[in-house]
Amino acid sequence: MAKGGHIDPFGKVALPALLSGHKPTWDAFVRAAVPLVMAVVHRALPCHRRSEEAVAEAVQKVFVDLSANDFRLLKNFDPARASLSTWLAVISWSRARATIGQPAPWVEGHSTLKTQSRD
């Protein structure tokens, strides 16, 4: 059990084994993470962009990004700053918004206004 009486879906995932590329651990992590990632991605995509294909593409992007470059993104997880569920939700939201060309609103320097160049 995690804080507040909630069940921690990642409680049995060994982070060192996950970061070392241990396939059974990665598979267990993906099974545990898919419901959370799908829920966040579904909420992050605008209604008119929320097709099954768009959601599947964004979910796949999350897992590809987590495992890319020897798990570089996943290695940035700091359990002192957030739970794995919270961190994964932030990553999932960010990646979902990136698939539609809109960075998350908390990204530094983000602006929804487009500037026009003057020639």
- Has residue 9 been placed in a domain? no
Residues 6+ apart with CB under 8 A from 49: 100
Determine, yes or no, domain membership for 105: no
Query: What pLDDT does 63 receive?
Result: 95
pLDDT in tens, the chain (119 residues): 444 444 456 766 788 888 888 899 899 899 999 999 999 999 988 877 678 888 898 999 999 999 999 999 999 999 899 889 999 999 999 998 887 775 555 444 444 444 444 44
In a domain, 67, yes or no: yes
Residue 55, domain extent = 15-99
Backbone torsions φ then ψ of 103, nearest 5 degrees? -65, 160
Cβ neighbours for 60, distance < 8 A, ≥ 6 positions apart:
none
What DSSP designation does 48 have?
G
Q: What is the pTM of this model?
A: 0.74
**26 closest CA partner among 83, 80, 64, 57:** 64
Number of domains in the chain: 1
